[in-house]
Homo-oligomer: A and B are copies of this chain.
Amino acid sequence: MISKIIEHLLHYISLSSDEITAISESIPIQSFSKGSILLKEGEVSKHAYFNIKGCVRLYYLIDGEEKTTFFYTENQFITSIKSFTNRVPAHHFLECVEDCTLGVLSYEAEIYLLKKFPKFEYLSRILLEEELGHYQDMLSTYITTKPEDRYKKLLKLNPQLLQRIPQYQLATFLGVTPESLSRIRKRIIQ
């Protein structure tokens, strides 16, 4: 089977067989069981990941409470960009919410790929532009809507996600406590 990663990248760029080989060899595919920690607070992120299957969440540990700020699902790149590119400790955790199949790109492999195939600079730029667009949208959504609206939006645009993650993780992702999300759900149904 042609890798899911290659398939995804072909949406953005054409790839020679050399390039496909290099990518396949540089980004090994690994399985992680539910609950696996990909990155701990205080560690320097050594890998970026491409999510082939499963769900990974990004969370902060603040006063003993986990605050989820992102869920990565199929066909998304998972990067703790500041830690990964600047080699500084991360302030968050990455955890598999489900059993996951991920492409694993080490820092060294990224450097190698970018050096060997300058074309990948273009690809990186395009992917980053897309990712940045998502983040601009998300930040705007946070500033301009209330938790209830964000829940409704998620319910409408991404109902499958709600089936995959526990509600207490969703709650902090929406910016409220689990109790409040429970009340929001109650309010909406009636």
- Which residues of chain B are within 8 angstroms of A144 by Cβ–Cβ distance? 60, 62, 67, 69
Nearest chain B CB to A122 CB, angstrom units = 5
List the B residue with the shortest CB-CB distance to A138. Answer: B139
On chain A, the number of residues with a Cβ less than 8 Å from chain B's Cβ atoms is 35
Nearest chain B CB to A57 CB, angstrom units = 12
Q: Are B137 and A139 in contact (CB under 8 A)?
A: no
Q: Are B62 and A136 in contact (CB under 8 A)?
A: no
Contact status of A140 and B85, CB under 8 A, knowing A121-B125, A128-B125: no
A136: which of B82, B118, B140, B143 is its contact (CB, 8 Å)?
B82
Nearest chain B CB to A82 CB, angstrom units = 4
- Residues of A121-144 at the interface with B, using a CB-CB cut-off of 8 Å, are 121-122, 124-125, 128-129, 131-133, 135-140, 142-144
Alpha-carbon gap, A131 to B132, bound state (A): 8
List the B residue with the shortest CB-CB distance to A122. Answer: B121
Whether, in the assembled complex, A101 has its beta carbon less than 8 Å from a beta carbon of chain B, the answer is no
Whether, in the assembled complex, A72 has its beta carbon less than 8 Å from a beta carbon of chain B, the answer is no
**Which A-B residue pairs are the 3 nearest by beta carbons?**
A135-B135, A82-B133, A121-B121
